Amino acid sequence: MTQSSARAQAIANILYELKKAGKIATYSAVAGRAGFSAGAKGRSVITCLKTVRRDWPHLQWWRAVSDTGQLEQGSEHEQLLVESGFETEPAEDELVVVKSLDLQLMNWEEAEEPATAEETE
């Protein structure tokens, strides 16, 4: 398996986690979880997302967003996020931003906290 396909597989797994949680994640968070750097402006992740879209079209690639939460207004990315219940609001130029971005982002630390003894009783 090449490095790029291994990265794409790792991102595919992360996208599945995001879908199950009903959350989104930034390119940097996705890359960090996958064990590599997102690259300048998330380019490494964007490249992997293209592979994911081609090889695993059923996965929700659009759950990965730029670190600022900005998207092109009217883009497929925005459309799919909105259709799934995420709101956007106008930003500068021809951009929109995911509304309440911090509340929409996956927090893996919270998701992976082990149950306390009290919770399991």
For residue 112, being part of any structural domain is answered with no
Model pTM? Answer: 0.86
48, 7 in Cβ contact below 8 A?
Answer: yes
Query: Could you tell me if residue 117 is inside a domain?
Result: no
pLDDT in tens, 4-14: 689 999 999 99
pLDDT of 2 reads 66
Domain contains 29: yes
- Evaluate whether residue 111 is within a structural domain: no
Taking residues 12-20, report their average pLDDT.
Answer: 96
What is the tally of helices (H) and strands (E) in the chain? 7, 5
Q: Which range marks the domain in which residue 47 is found?
A: 3-104
CA–CA gap between residue 98 and residue 78 (Å, rounded): 9
pLDDT tens-digit map of 89-112: 999 999 999 999 999 999 988 756
Number of domains making up the chain: 1
String of DSSP letters for 14-25: HHHHHHHHT-BE
Two tokens, residue 65: 């967003």
